[in-house]
Structure 1
Amino acid sequence: MASAADRRIDRTPQELLPEGDRVAVRLQPAALSAKLAVPLLTGDAIERTALSQKVLAASSAPIVLLRAPAGFGKTTLMLELRHKLEAATIPSAWLTLDSADNDVGRFLYVVRAALTPLISGLSANGGDAAGPDDVALRLIDAIAAHRAPFTLFLDDFETVQGPAVLGLVRELISHLPAGARMVIGSRNVPELGLGRLRAHGKLVEIEPTQLRFTIDEATVYLRNRRRLDLSQDDVVRLHRSTEGWVAALWLASVSLENRQDPGQFIAGFNGADTAIVEYLLEDVFSRQSEKVRTFLLRTSIVADLTPSLCDRLCGATDSLDVLAKLEREHLFLIPIDGDGFRWRYHSMFAEFLRTQLKRRHPEQARQLNRVAANWYLEQDRPVVAIEHWLAAGDAGAALPLLAQHAEPLLNQGRVRLLARWLDPLRERGLLHDWPMLQIIHAWAVLLGRGPRAAALLLEQLDQEERRGRGFDAHRRALRLLYLVLLDRIDEARDLATSLVRDVPGRGSFVRGFAEVALANLTMIAGEYQEALKLADVVRSRGPDNASGMMLALSEAAEGAVDLTQGRLRKATAHLRLAVRAGTDDASGATNGNAMAGVLLAEALYEAHQLLQAERLLTVYIPLIRAVGVPDQLITAHTIMARIAWRRGDRDLAQQLLAELELSGHRETLGRVVASARLERARMLTVEGRIDLAKDEIARCADATLWDRIDRLSLRANEVETYKLGAARCAVHGAQPSSCIDSLHAELDAAERTQRARRALTMRLVLAQAYYRTSQPNKAMRLLSKAISFAAAEGYQAAFQDEGALLLEMLRELRLRPDLLGSGAAPSADTLQFLDIIVGEPGPPLPTDPKPWDPAIVAPAPGSSLLTRKELKLLTLVADGLSNSELAERLFVADTTVRTHLRNINAKLGTRSRVEAIAIARKSGLLR
C-alpha cells in the first residue's frame, strides 16, 4: 500500500508533466483559477477592428484559429473578440493550456471546469470514480445538448501535442451545437482535421500575415499608445524592419524610450527574424539595474515565481517588492493566480533569460537548480525536486530520490516521465549501481514505447549478474510482458505459470502482474473457468495495489470471457469497472489501462452504441499504438474502421486499416497484418466486390499463422478468421453451397466450446449460404435462433455488419413473425429488437399466426402472370441479391425495385420474397 507521502507525489500541479497517456491529477485551486483567469489587456493595446470583424462576420464557422509565432498578438486579439462577444451577451470561457494538459484526465478536468459556469448539467467534479470515457461522454453530450450560444477560448494551444487529447478536441469540435464557437490561439498548426473543417466552411483562420500590424496600426501604436515622438519616416522604417511583428515593435518601443536620437537606433535594424527579438530583449535587459538583472537571471530557472522561492534563489528578503515592481513596469511578468503572490515570466522572455543564464553563468545555473530542488523538497514536492536535481546535473542527489519514488510512480503508470528521467542517466552509465532503477527504466520503456525500444534493455538485464530474487523476478516479469507484446502466447503462458509458482508475496507487483497475465493467457487458451478463478484471485488482492492496475486488468479479463461467451450485458458492466478501477479523484485520472478501454469499446459497438465506442477509442487508440499490444491494436482499429464504413466514410475506414497494417509490418506482427487485410476483405465482400475481396483473402492465407489462431481464443480474432472470411466471400460469390459443410462444422465447434459470440456470426453467415442456395426454411430457422439469442443480450452490430443481404432476410423474417421462436408466438421484445435491427417497423403480430407452408399456398385468385421484367427481378431475388444490387443490375431506382416486389407479392398472394420464390418455383415460373 502506498504511503500518504507516496500518493502525494502525484497531487501537485507544478509536477504535472506532458505524460499524454498517464496519471492526471486535480489541480490545486490557485493553479486552476490561473488557468481559467482571463488575461488583462495592457493599456497600450490597439483595436484590431478588421480582424475581429472578420471573425464575428463568419458566425456560421464554429472554429476560429489564430496561428502565429510568439509575439504576434494572438492573445490580444482573442481578448478583443471576447470583449465584443460579451458585449453582444454571448458568454465565454477562457482556458490557458500548458504541457501538463497533454494528460487526458487533466485536460477533461480543466475543460469541464472552464465550461461549468456556462453549461447546465456540467460539474467540475464529474462524478466520483468516473473514468476518462465517462467524463468525455458526459462533457461532449452536455455540450452537444446546450442550446444557448457560447464561446470557448483555448490559448497556448501549441502546448497540447498528445494524440489522445487532440482526438478529444476533434470530438468536441464535431459536437459543437449551433451558436457555439471555439477560438484557438496556437503557435503551430494543430492536428485537428483542419482540411475538412476548411472544406465545409467551418473554419476561420487568422495567420501571421494578417496579424502583423499595418503601417497605420504601427503609427497608432507607436505614437498614440507608446507615446513616442517619431516622424512618419521613422515609423515606416521601423515597420519595414520589423515587418509589422507586434512583439518586435513593442520591444523596439521599450528600447526607444528616453533615447535622444530614435532615428539612429531605428537605422540599426536590418531584419525581422528571431535575431531582432534577441537583440531587442538584450537591449531591454541591459537597461535594467544590476539588481533587477540579477533577479531576472537567477529566477528564470523555475516555472512559477513565489516570493519565498525567489528569496531563496536570490539570497534576499525583498523578492515580493521586486516582483511587484516588475509587474508595474509590464516587464514580461504574468500573474498566475488571483491573490497577487504567484507569477510567471512571458514564455519568450523566460527562454531568453535561461539562455543568458547558461551562456553567462553556467555553473551558477547548476547551483540555482540545486537550491530550487532543496526548496521543493521542503515543500514535499519530490517530483519537481528531481527535475531540478537532474537539471543541475547532480545525479548523486537525484538518484536516491529517484530510488525512493520511482516504484510508486511506476505503479501509477507515469512511464513517460520515468523514461525521460532515466534515459539520459542510463546513457551516462549512472544506473549501474542502482539495479532496481534499471528494472524500472526497462518497465517504463517497455510499457511506454513497446518491445522494439526495450529489446536492448532486456538483453542487458539478462546479462546482469544475479542481483537477488526481487531483481530476477522483475526481470522474468519483463520478459513475460515482452513475449505478450510480440504475440508469443505459448511461451508467455509457460513463463507466467512459473512466475506465479515461484514468486511469493500478496503485495508483490511482479506476483500481481504474473497472476493477471496468466488469467488472460488462460482465457486465450480457451480455459474460461480457470481464467475466471485466476481473475478472482487477483481481485481479492486489489487493495494491495494502490494504483488499481491489477484490479483493472483482472476485471478486463473477466469482461473478455463474458464477451467470448456471449454475455454482452455482464461484460459491459465489468469493463466499465475495469476502466474506472485506477481512478481516485474527479480529475479523471486513469492508470492508462488501454486493454480495458478497447474491450469496453468493443462491447459498446456490439450494442450499437457507436458514438460512445468512437469516443472511447479516440482516447485509447493513440495510447496503444505506442506499445503495440496485438489484440488491442487489431480490435481498436477494426471497430473504428467499421464505424467509419457504416457512416459512409470509406476513405477513413481504409486509412485506419492501412495504419493497422503498417503497425503490423513495423512491429513484425504477422497477425496484425493479416487481420487488417481480412477486415478489408470483409468490407469488400459485403459491398459485392467479390474479386477484390478474394485478392485480399489470398494475401493473408498463411496456413501456419491461422492454424495457431484457430487453436486459440484470441480476442481480436475470436470471430474473424481466415476460414470465416473465405466462407463469407463464397456465400456472396458464385459458390454459396461450397462452404455450408465447413460453416456447420465451425458452428458446432463454437457451441461445443462455449464461444457464443463466434457462434452468432457463424449462424448468420450460414443462414445467408442457405438463402443463396434456395433453402429459405433452413435460412430462416437459423436466423430466428440468432435473433432470439441476440435480443436477450442486445447484440446488433453482428447483424448490421453482414450487409444488405442479411438485412433483407431480416425484413422478410419480420413479415413472418410465426417463424420466430420455437412454435410459440415471439415476444414483443424480440419483435421490437428485430425492428431496431432492420431500421423500420414491421407489421403488427397477428392474434393467431398460422404456419406457412408453400405446399398449401396458391396464387391469389384472379392474379395475372408476372411480366418479363418482374420475372427477371424474381430470378435475381432468388440469387440472393439485395434491393440496391437489384436496382444496379436492372438500371432502375431502389423505389422501382420495391414497387415491383409489391406487385409480385400481390400477383402471387405472398407476403415476402421467400414466399414469392417458393410459389414461383412450385408454379414453374422459376427453375
Structure 2
Amino acid sequence: MVTPILATKLFAPSPRAQAIARPHLVDALDAGIRGGRRLSLVSAPAGFGKSTLLSAWVAALRARSGVRAAWLSLDEGDNDPARFLAYLSAALRSADPAIGVHAHAGQPSLEAGLALLINEVAHSGQEIVLVLDDFQVIEDAAILDALGFLLERLPASLHIAIASRSDPLLPVARLRARGELTELRADGLRFTPAEAAEFLNTAMGLTLSHEDVAALETRTEGWIAGLQLAALSMRDRADASAFIAGFAGSNRFVIDYLIEEVLERAPEETRDFLRDTAILERLSGPLCDAVTGGTGGGATLAALERANLFVVPLDEAREWYRYHHLFADVLRSRLLGHGAERAAVLHARASAWFEHHDALEEAVRYALAAGDLTRAARLIEASIPGVRKSRQDATLLRWLSMLPAETMARRPVLLVFSAWSALVAGDIAAVEPRLEAAERLVAPGAPAHESEPGAELDTLPITIALYRAAVALAAGDVPGVTRHASRALRLAGPDEHLGRGAAAGLLGLGLWAGGDLEGGLGAFADAGHSLRLAGNLTDALSTTMVCADMLVPLGRLGEARRAYESALGEARARLGGGPPTADLHGGFAEVLIELGDLAAAEEQLSAAEALGAGAFSAEHHYRWFVSKALLRRAQGQPEAALALLEEAERSYRRGFFAEARPIGAMKARIRIEQGRLPEARAWLDAQGLTPLDELGYLREYSHLTLARLLLAQGDAAADPLLWRLHDAALAGGRLGVVAEIRQLQRQPVAPAGEQGPRLSERELQVLTLLASELSGPEIARALFVSVNTLRTHTRHIFEKLAVGTRQAAVRRARERGLL
C-alpha cells in the first residue's frame, strides 16, 4: 500500500483566456534553463500572479519539442516526508512514466528516495522542469534539508521552479553567488501601466480612461489581485473615476474593502455558498453540496469561474477547484464572524463526506478542525494501517499530538501508538505507563473501551511487546530485549509476517549485543524471511548488513561475501538499484577489505558513491566513510583514513544496531600504527578502559585496541589481557577475533621507544603464508584476493621489515618472533 495520490495536486492550471501575456517574464524563466541554472524562484506576497505566470510558462514549455514539465501544488499535509516523496515521485512520473517507479517502493527514506529520483531523471534522457507551487507551506526540516541536497546534485536535465510567498529555507544565497539562480520578485511581477490597461479594459471588460488606469495602477502599485478586486467592484458603476479617486489604504484594508464590495454585490445565495465552502482546501460540486446542504454546487463553481471570481480549476474536466488563497482567507474570516459553531458544523460535514469517499487523511483533518475529537480519534485509528504502511510517521505523530490525553485514555490502540510517538521523541519514561494503561483497557473484565475491532486492536499485544523490546534495547537491557521480542514472536500468528519480522529483528539485535552471534544470525534470517513474505524487500535486503557484521567476527568471510553478492544482485534486479543498494555496496567493501581484495573494495565504494549521498539510509551513511577509511589504511594512507573517519563521526546516527566497532577505536588503532601513542591513549582513557575490566562483546573491539596500545608501549599487561580476550572470543565462537588475537600474541612486547613499523592483521596473514611452500598465485587464491593485491601486501611487508626478498622477510619475521 502506498500513499493515495490526489491527481488535482499534479495539475498545472491552464492559462486563463483573460490572462495577460507576459513574454518578458517567460523569457526570463527560459533564460534560466538555457543558462544551466538549477533553480527558478518566484517569490512574492499573495496576489502577485506567481502561479499564473508559472502555469503560462509550463504551457509554453509543453508546446516545445523535448521539454516536459511536472507540477506539484503543495499543502500543509505535505510536511510528512513520506507523503512529500510520494507526491514528488508522482509529479515527475507525470512528466516521464519511467521516473519515480521505484522511489516509493519499499518505503525508503526521503534522502534515499530523492537520490533514486535524481538517478532516474539523469538516465531518462528527458529535459524536465519541476514546479513546486505554494512552497511556503513546507516547514519540515527534514524535507527542507533533503531539497537542499537535491538542489546541490541536480542532473543537468532537471530544473526546479518554486513559487512561494516567502523565501524558502534552501541554499538560495549559495546558488545566487554561483550564478545558478533565476529570481523573480514582487517588483518584477507588478503589472506595468500597459499591462494594467490591457487587464482592466480587455480581460475585465471595463472602459477606463488612460488617466483612470494610471491612477488605479499607481494606487495598487501594480498588485494584480488589487487590480482584479477593483475591477470587480467597478462593474456596473456609473462613475468609475469617483470610485478610483476614493480608493486608498494599505493592502489589508484594500482587501477588506474590496471583498465587501464584491460580496455585497453578489446574490445572497452566492455569498452564503462562498462563505460556507471557504473551509475547503479543494472543492467539487458534490462536496460543496454535502457541506452547504444545498444543491447545484457544480453549476455554482462553474459560474464563479466564468465570472472570474477567484476560483482556480484543478483539473481539465473542471470537476475540482480551489479558491484563490487570498480570497479564501477573507472568506474564512467572514465565516468566523458568524460564530465558531457554524464553522464546526461545516467541518464536520466535510469530514463525513471524505470518510464516505475513503479519503481518511482529509476526513481526519476536518474532524480535528471541527473539534469533534471522538470522531477524529476513531478516524485516526482507522487510518493507522495505511499511514504506517506508507510510512507517513510524521502525519500520525502530528495527529496524536492534537488529541488530549483524556481522549486517548479511552482508546487502547491510540495509547499504544502514543507510546510509540514518545519512543520516537526520546521520551523513554513516558512509554511504559501508556503501554500499561492500554493493557488494562483490554484486560478480561475491564470496562468497555472505545477502540473499534480490527487488525490494530487484534495485534495490540504483539505491538506492546515489540515496543517494550525496543525500549529495552535503547536502555542496553539485553535480557529484556530477548524476553519481550520472544513474547512478540509467540503471540504473532504464522501469517502476521510484519510483526514476526519486527520481533525476530529485535531478538537478533539483542542476541548480537549480548555476544551470541550465532543466535543473532538465526534470528535475522527469520526476520528477513518474514519481511519478504510481508512484501518489504527493502528491509529484508538490509538485514544482509547486520548478518555480515556478525559473520566477520565469526571468521566466515566467504559466507559474508556471498551474502552481499546475492543481495546486490537482487537489489539491482528487483529494486532498480534503489535503496538499500548504496548501503550494501558500502558494507560489501568492508568485507572485501578483510579479504584483502582492495581493488574490488574500491569498485564497490565507487558504485555506492555514484548513486549519490542521499541514496544511503540515514543510519548507514557513515558506513561508506568507514569503509573508505579502512581501505585507505590498508593502502598505507593513514592521514587520509583519519580524515574519512572524522567524516564518519559527523555522519553517524545512533540507532538500534550494536556499536561493536566504535569509530574512535578505529582512529586509535591508526594512531598506534603511526606511533602517536598519547593521542590513542587519550581516547582509551576517555572510555574508562583498563586491562582488568570485565569483558563483554560490545567492548571487545575497544579492549583489543587497548591491547595494541599496551604492546606498542612495551607494557607487560598486554599479555594477560589478550589471553582473557582470546578465551572469551573462543567461547563465543568468534574465530575471526581469535585469529586477530593470535596474530597480536605473535608480536613480542617491544621495549619502550623501540617499536618499529607494525604489520596489519592482513599483512601478518600474508606473512604466515609466505613462510609456507605455496606459490604466489596459490597464496592469492587461499586469501581470496587477486595476485596484484597480494603483491601490494608483500611490498608493504618488505618495506616494514626492511628486506627485499620473500626469504629475507620470513627470516626477519622469525627473528622478531612474528612467525
Aligned to 2:130: 152
Deviations 1:539-566 (A, max 9, x none): 6666996889997897776465446654
Q: How has the CA–CA distance of structure 1 residues 165 and 722 changed in structure 2, closer, same or farther, with 3 Å as cutoff? A: farther
Structure 2 counterpart of 1:66: 42
Structure 2 SS opposite 1:779: coil
Distance 1:478 1:636 in 2: 25
Contact 1:730 1:736 in 2 (8 A): yes
Cα pair distance change 1:537/1:570, threshold 3 Å: same
What are the Cα deviations for residues 802-846 of structure 1, in whole angstroms up to 9, with x where unaligned? xxxxxxxxxxxxxxx9899943426899999769989xxx99x9x
SS at 1:185 equivalent: strand
After TM superposition, the structure 1 = structure 2 runs for residues 319-338 of structure 1, keeping only pairs within 5 Å, are 319-338=297-316
Alpha carbons of structure 1 residues 636 and 148: separation in structure 2 relative to 1, 3 Å = closer
2:463 is aligned with 1:479: no
* Aligned residue number for residue 249 of structure 2: 270
Q: 1:79 to 1:472 in 2, by over 3 A?
A: closer
Q: Contact between 2:367 and 2:373, CA under 8 Å: does it hold in 1?
A: yes
Q: Where do residues 839-858 of structure 1 align in structure 2 (5 Å cutoff)? A: none
SS of 2:48's equivalent in the other structure is: coil
Alignment correspondent of 2:416 = 439
CA RMSD across the alignment: 5.8
**Equivalent residue letter for 1:32:** A
2:319 maps to a residue whose letter is F
Change (3 A) 1:54 1:381: closer
Q: 1:205 to 1:286 in 2, by over 3 A?
A: same
Match of 2:763 among 783, 800, 807: 783
Question: Which residue identity is paired with 2:297?
Answer: S
Q: Following the alignment from structure 2 to structure 1, what is the Cα–Cα distance between the partners of residues 681 and 385?
A: 50
Tell me, yes or no, if the aligned pair for 2:72 and 2:91 is still in contact at 8 Å.
Answer: no
Q: Separation in 2 of the partners of 1:172 and 1:337?
A: 28
How far is the alpha carbon of 1:112 from its aligned partner?
Answer: 4.9
Give the counterpart of 1:425 among 395, 400, 403.
Answer: 403
Q: CA deviation at 1:59?
A: 0.5
Counterpart in 1 of 2:594? none
Map of 1:479-518 to 2, 5 A cutoff? 479-497=468-486, 503=491, 505-506=493-494, 513-518=502-507
Whichever residue aligns with residue 711 of structure 1, its letter is G
Q: TM-score scaled by structure 2?
A: 0.73
Contact map agreement 1:614 1:640 (CA 8 A) in 2: no
Q: Which residue of 2 aligns with 1:862?
A: none
Post-superposition offset of 1:217: 4.9
> Is 1:823 the counterpart of 2:775 in the alignment?
yes
Contact 1:678 1:700 in 2 (8 A): no
Aligned-pair CA distance for 1:188: 3.7
Q: Within 5 A, what are the aligned runs for 1:528-677?
A: 528-537=517-526, 558=547, 561-562=550-551, 565=554, 566=557, 567-572=559-564, 600=584, 602-603=586-587, 606=590, 607=601, 608-609=604-605, 612=608, 618=614, 632=619, 635-637=620-622, 639=624, 657=649
Shift of 1:258: 3.6
Return the offset for 1:521.
0.5
Contact 2:605 2:628 in 1 (8 A): no
Q: What is aligned with 2:433?
A: 459
User: Share of identical aligned residues, percent?
Assistant: 23
How far, CA to CA, are the matches of 2:62 and 2:223 in structure 1? Answer: 28
- In structure 2, relative to structure 1, the CA distance for the partners of 1:341 and 1:278 (3 Å cut) is same
How far 1:173 sits from its partner (Å)?
A: 3.6
- Indicate yes or no: 2:525 matched with 1:525: no
Distance 2:629 2:214 in 1: 54
Q: Is the 8 A contact 2:206 2:235 kept in 1?
A: yes
Q: Is the 8 A contact 2:587 2:627 kept in 1?
A: no
Q: CA deviation at 1:522?
A: 0.9
**Residue in 2 that maps onto 1:795:** none
Aligned partners of 1:765 and 1:222: how far apart in 2? 88
**Partners of 1:677 and 1:699 within 8 A in 2:** no
Task: Give the C-alpha shift of residue 638 in structure 1.
Answer: 6.0
Q: Which consecutive unaligned segments of at least 5 residues does structure 1 have?
A: 1-9, 11-23, 591-595, 623-631, 789-816, 855-876, 881-907, 919-927
Q: 2:275 aligns with which of 282, 288, 297?
A: 297
Once residues 747 and 192 of structure 2 are traced to their aligned partners in structure 1, the CA distance between those partners, rounded to angstroms, is: 70
Q: Residues 834 and 472 from structure 1, CA distance in 2 versus in 1: closer, same or farther, beyond 3 angstroms?
A: closer
Give yes or no for contact 1:406–1:437 (8 Å, CA) kept in 2: no
- How many residue pairs get aligned? The number is 764
CA distance in 2, matches of 1:156, 1:319: 26
> What is the one-letter code of the residue matched to 1:455?
A
| Structure 2 CA distance for partners of 1:125 and 1:678, relative to 1, 3 Å | same
Q: Distance in 1 between matches of 2:621 and 2:123?
A: 28
Distance in 1, matches of 2:517 and 2:784, equals 33
Deviations 1:712-737 (A, max 9, x none): 34xxx886x4763x788999xx9699
- The residue aligned with 1:890 is none
Conserved? CA contact 1:64–1:183, under 8 Å: yes
Q: Secondary structure at the match of 2:132?
A: strand
Partner of 2:447: none
Task: Write the deviation string for residues 128-167 of structure 1: whole angstroms up to 9, x where unpaired.
Answer: 9666478655533333345565433333334445555545
Q: Relative to structure 1, is the Cα distance of residues 642 and 603 closer, same or farther in structure 2, using a 3 angstrom cutoff?
A: closer
Deviations 1:740-799 (CA, angstroms, capped at 9, x unpaired): 9799777997688565887899999999999998878x83883374799xxxxxxxxxxx
* Structure 2: tracts of 5 or more residues without a match: 445-458, 591-600, 633-638, 813-819
Match of 2:321 in 1: 343
- Evaluate the alpha carbon distance shift between residue 748 and residue 129 of structure 1 in structure 2; reply closer, same or farther with a 3 A threshold: farther
Secondary structure at 2:404 match in 1: helix
Alignment of 1:51-450 (within 5 A): 52-53=27-28, 56=31, 59-82=35-58, 85=61, 89-99=65-75, 101=78, 107=84, 110-115=87-92, 122=98, 125-126=101-102, 132=108, 139-145=117-123, 149-163=127-141, 165-166=143-144, 169-170=147-148, 172-178=150-156, 180-213=158-191, 217-218=195-196, 221-222=199-200, 225-226=203-204, 228-230=206-208, 238-239=216-217, 241-259=219-237, 260-265=239-244, 267-272=246-251, 274=252, 276-404=254-382, 406=384, 409-410=387-388, 413-427=391-405, 429-446=406-423, 449-450=424-425
Deviation readout 1:507-529 (Å, 9 max, x if unpaired): 67877654432222012222122
Quote the Cα distance in structure 2 between the aligned partners of 1:334 and 1:419.
32
Alpha-carbon distance in 2 for matches of 1:269, 1:757: 83
Question: How many Å separate the matches in 2 of 1:769 and 1:243?
Answer: 86
Relative to structure 1, the CA distance from residue 697 to residue 537 in structure 2 (aligned partners, 3 Å threshold; closer, same or farther) is closer
Indicate the SS of the match to 1:609: helix
Q: Which amino acid aligns with 1:206?
A: L
Tell me the distance in 2 between the aligned counterparts of 1:704 and 1:312: 74
